[in-house]
Structure 1
Amino acid sequence: MAFDGFVMRITAGKIEEHINGLNLRNIYLEDKVLYFSFDAGDLKISLNPNFAHISFTEHIVKEPEKQTFVDFLRSRIRGAKVSKFSSIGYDRTVVLELKKTDEIGQKHEYKLYIDIMGKHSNVILVENGVILDAYKRIETRFRNINPGEKFVLFASNKMNIEEVTADSLSVALEHFPKQKAISEFIYSTIQGFSRLTAEELLFRADLDDMALSQISDEHLNALLEAIASIRRELSENQLYVYYENDMPIDISVFRLHKYTDFKRCENPVECVNEYFEFVEKKDKLTQKKNQLLSIVNSKIEAYEKLIDSIEKEVEECKNAEKYRKFGELLKAYSYQIGHGLEEVTLTDWETNEEVRIPLEKHLSAIENSVKYFKMYNKLKKKLEGLSERKEILERELSYLRQLQNTIENAETLDDLLDIEEEMVEGELIKKHKGKKNTKVVTHSEPRRYTFNGFTIFVGRNNRQNDELVRKASEHDLWLHVQGMPGAHVVVKTNGKPIDDETLQYAAKLAAYYSKGKYSTKVPVDYTQVKYVKKPRGFKPGLVLYSNFKTLFVTPTE
């Protein structure tokens, strides 16, 4: 876990420097995040289990939520002065201590306990050791967090890293199951450690993650030396941010040798904000992507079932020709067929085959012939209707699969908001009436690449795909994967011929931003924009094209 007890402690220390002695102006809640507003900025308490943490930031709450606990906090601690903000050892609990004199002159000393523990994260307001209220009222076998109950700290029997000695470590080892791994022993008995930081401790001690039963005195000494090196780094009050592909992937208070790309921060709070801003954006992106994909996938499944049902009906309609033949044979041989028969066998003059025809015995041969012609006409008309309907449904399905691909390839929240707007207009998502949309939607721009002097655009969504074609010159080059959903790619030629290397590069982009992203030898069609047409009534992103050639490429990032 990135936000372990070590990061918690150093962050709390830096936040106290900002808020100690200040008065609390207000409290807000937005998307599982509490903001305690001060003149110097905002104490941020994220209770989202995916990225629970504390920090200090300057934040404007755009859509504050109404919540009973927030209202209660405002009534009790708004205007209170901060007397202390500190962590409890290296555990993931901090305490905000506040003093306030109420309207009738009575003095209060409140303690706000903040547990940052994933899905168990909570904020609890306490006075004189008694719980006044909590963000989450819960009762477990360890704690009863309800108003009126005596407050009990989250039980922790772990050692403080600053107090670890050879003797205390030996005692702890005696009481821990010998079949367990050293890493589990570390994060289970010493405050602040997570699985990842326990691995770092073993790396520094040059130890494999063996069972405790295999530990020798030499191993124990190496472990103590590694703990001492970590203690030295903890005293420096610095923080590291680690990167992969220029994106922050972890933070720690001491150096983690697992990562090679990192920076050392003089201001831990800034690094905590940098890391969690990225994590939050990524989480929101994932949530929105899953939400939109769920709607589109559900529609795709429904359309596939409808088309499957139509195909079964089409198979039934194929009997139409058989009924026409029955009618023709009965009409031609009517003079030979007696009344009251249940069936008759006649020779088909076209094939010389014998054809057995069921009859309604109360009808004459001509009347049976008329009946079969009616059945033929009915099925023929039904088949025409089914074919038209199937064509419409297949076009809708093609659009939905194209939409699915644009959602899967979306890289930012703005990309997804553009797609969501398209889905609202296409009535795939119902727009809530009566609720004014106060959000300013920033429309994303197409992806833009430069290669060998040519500018290449790749659509991020169906609207952009259409716009790229509409705004392109007729001699610009248009590319799209063959027979599968994908982005439209336009190479701006400015009247110049495109070299093979640029053509290959543009084709690889088209393949990468398509359903063929993880395939090899993906077929990509290309033609001039003047041969790309969008018929009236076609859904966004769908076009017809001609005069094309095909390349086979393997997509690369």
Structure 2
Amino acid sequence: MPYDGFVMRGTVEQIAKKIVGFNLRNVYLSKHILYFSFDNGDLKVSLNPNFSYISFVNHFVEDPEKNNFVEFLRSRIRGAKVVDFSNIQYERTVVLELKKIDEIGVVHNYVLYFDIMGKHSNAIIVENSEILEAFKRVQTKFRNIFPGEKFVLYPSDKLTIDEIDSFDKLKSVFEGFYDKKKSLVEFIYTKFQGFSKVTAEEVLYRSELDNKSLSEVSLEDLKRVYEILISVKEELKEGTLRLYYEDEKPKDISVIRLHQYRDEKKCSEFVKCVNEYFEYVEVKDKITEKRNQLISVVKSKIDHYENLLSELERELEECKDADKYRKYGELIKAYSYQINCGEEMASLYDWESDSHVSVPLEKNLSPIENSVKYFNLYSKLKRKAKGIEERKEILSKELSYLQQLQLTIENAEGLEELFEIEDEMVENGLIKKKVDKKGKKKSEQVSEPRKYVYNGFTILVGKNNRQNDELVVRSSDNDIWLHVQGMPGAHVVIKTNGKSVDEDTLYYAARLAATYSKGRYSSNVPIDYTYIKYVKKVRGLKPGLVLYSNFKTLFVDPIQR
């Protein structure tokens, strides 16, 4: 993970300067993140399994939660003075030491241990080596985390990089490693504190070695690894954090240089860069959470409608016997004089097919009554078939809307867009309207369509169904509208301003329409285009659905994003 032992140590050392000697004001919890508030900011301890880390932030706790562990901490350590804040060498365990004098004058020395280990992250408060409480009470093969248990550190046989002070020491560690089937990268991050898989791979990159199994590692290979470890040791002394970017977005952080990235920013203040990186990660996680939440609702509805349509198809298949029953009624009526009461089957000549037809009869009914029975059955099935077709049309439109909605959710790039889609889902009764804790409606957020400029023309791409409708309603008659043929996709509009659109621009807009459609991973995608004046938003159609005519079709490949 990006937040390895090296990053943690530098971050903790800088945070210590901000909180040691100061009094703790309060403790809060929000979405698996603990905030320990001081006058100058908050110690942030993220125990989220997706992004566990420690940092220092300005006062801001979003939606604090009620929690028994937090209440316990408040009762014991609120007002306590920070004696020390450190981590255990390069391990991802941080120690917060606190001193508190209680109401009757008794001095308490509390120790909070923060294990920053992904899904195993935890916070444990200890006094006199005894566990008082924990964020997560767990029992493992290594230790029990329960009140009253003796506290023991998470066991580790890792060495620090500082302990590798000679090649012979590294050689000894290598020879004593338990599993020679493991790879060289696994050996580095398993045996030495601070290294993550990424930084271990960096050691191999600098060593110009392949990630071979330990059984294949030669003495020369090991010497090369030793040389790089010594250089890493010197690099750590610089006290610089590097924040790496891809497409102008934070991608990774590391104390040592990572050669797989080109765009980097050096930070002497670890906390600022740690916050920049994890702010992006947390927003990205919120986007993923919200997207999955909305897609789950839509997919459930899609499955429901697809099942309904399948059932209607089965019922419609049964209605295909209607004409057969009409024929039976006609034949019985025509040949009723030949049929004896009490018969269960009659072979009757069909003048249309020039063949005899075996017609089942109910023996307790007269020939005319059998004829009426079949005519009634024919009429019933015909009415049913008509009703089924009408129902199918309604359900098919609902399904098309849901499939379009799913695509807009998948294409959404930010929380703002997803909230707009959520509002649309509320309006259409797919989810219940949410209110804040004060009972007020959530404020509406308005985003703009994606905007592209190509050959002097502005091209707009709807981000959601509301925007798709707005593009149709607000565009000029001679603007050009594009949409993928026969599948969900965004509405694309070329703003012509009365000018003639060149073929190159038309093809570019068509490729955008393919890119923001269900055909985005296909090739030769059909894109229909026409003037806006031929695109109609008919009353009763779901958001994002239109009728259009006088169109032509282009076949294009999506733009690779």
Q: TM bucket by the smaller chain?
A: over 0.9
Q: For the Cα contact (< 8 Å) 1:34–1:44, is it kept in 2?
A: yes
2:172 counterpart residue number: 171
Q: For the Cα contact (< 8 Å) 1:44–1:57, is it kept in 2?
A: yes
1:492-528 residue CA offsets vs partner (Å, 9 max, x unmatched): 1122221111111111111100000011111111111
1:91 counterpart residue number: 91
1:254 counterpart residue number: 256
Deviation at 1:210, TM superposition (A): 2.9
In 1, the alpha carbon distance for the partners of 2:196 and 2:461 equals: 42
Residue type of the partner of 1:172?
V
1:51 counterpart residue number: 51
In 1, the alpha carbon distance for the partners of 2:272 and 2:129 equals: 34
Identity of aligned residues (%): 62
Q: For the Cα contact (< 8 Å) 1:93–1:115, is it kept in 2?
A: yes
Q: For the Cα contact (< 8 Å) 1:449–1:456, is it kept in 2?
A: yes
Deviation at 1:433, TM superposition (A): 8.1
2:545 counterpart residue number: 542
In 1, the alpha carbon distance for the partners of 2:270 and 2:496 equals: 49
Mapping for residues 317-396 of structure 1, pairs under 5 Å: 317-396=319-398
User: For residues 162 and 531 of structure 1, do their structure 2 counterparts lie closer, same or farther at Cα, with a shift above 3 Å needed?
Assistant: same
Deviation at 1:432, TM superposition (A): 6.0
1:483 counterpart residue number: 486
TM-score, normalization by structure 2: 0.96
Q: For the Cα contact (< 8 Å) 2:204–2:210, is it kept in 1?
A: yes
1:389-409 residue CA offsets vs partner (Å, 9 max, x unmatched): 111111111111111111111
1:269 counterpart residue number: 271
2:143 counterpart residue number: 143
1:552 counterpart residue number: 555
User: For residues 250 and 303 of structure 1, do their structure 2 counterparts lie closer, same or farther at Cα, with a shift above 3 Å needed?
Assistant: same
TM-score, normalization by structure 1: 0.96
Deviation at 1:70, TM superposition (A): 0.6
Deviation at 1:438, TM superposition (A): 6.6
Secondary structure of residue in 2 paired with 1:21: coil
Residue type of the partner of 2:385?
L
Secondary structure of residue in 1 paired with 2:202: helix
In 1, the alpha carbon distance for the partners of 2:217 and 2:303 equals: 57
Mapping for residues 75-154 of structure 1, pairs under 5 Å: 75-154=75-154
Residue type of the partner of 2:176?
H
Residue type of the partner of 1:188?
T
Point out where structure 2 has 5 or more consecutive residues left out of the alignment. Answer: none
2:500 counterpart residue number: 497
Point out where structure 1 has 5 or more consecutive residues left out of the alignment. Answer: none
Range 390-399 or range 204-213, more displaced: 204-213
User: For residues 439 and 534 of structure 1, do their structure 2 counterparts lie closer, same or farther at Cα, with a shift above 3 Å needed?
Assistant: closer
Q: For the Cα contact (< 8 Å) 1:414–1:441, is it kept in 2?
A: no
Deviation at 1:540, TM superposition (A): 0.9
In 1, the alpha carbon distance for the partners of 2:135 and 2:191 equals: 29
2:228 counterpart residue number: 226
User: For residues 75 and 439 of structure 1, do their structure 2 counterparts lie closer, same or farther at Cα, with a shift above 3 Å needed?
Assistant: farther
Deviation at 1:15, TM superposition (A): 1.0
2:8 counterpart residue number: 8
1:517 counterpart residue number: 520
User: For residues 509 and 216 of structure 1, do their structure 2 counterparts lie closer, same or farther at Cα, with a shift above 3 Å needed?
Assistant: closer
Residues matched between the structures, number: 557
Deviation at 1:33, TM superposition (A): 0.6
Residue type of the partner of 1:154?
Y
User: For residues 438 and 37 of structure 1, do their structure 2 counterparts lie closer, same or farther at Cα, with a shift above 3 Å needed?
Assistant: farther
Residue type of the partner of 1:399?
Y
Q: For the Cα contact (< 8 Å) 2:407–2:488, is it kept in 1?
A: yes
User: For residues 317 and 227 of structure 1, do their structure 2 counterparts lie closer, same or farther at Cα, with a shift above 3 Å needed?
Assistant: same
User: For residues 434 and 98 of structure 1, do their structure 2 counterparts lie closer, same or farther at Cα, with a shift above 3 Å needed?
Assistant: closer
Secondary structure of residue in 2 paired with 1:243: strand
Range 21-30 or range 332-341, more displaced: 332-341
User: For residues 302 and 34 of structure 1, do their structure 2 counterparts lie closer, same or farther at Cα, with a shift above 3 Å needed?
Assistant: same
Deviation at 1:235, TM superposition (A): 0.7
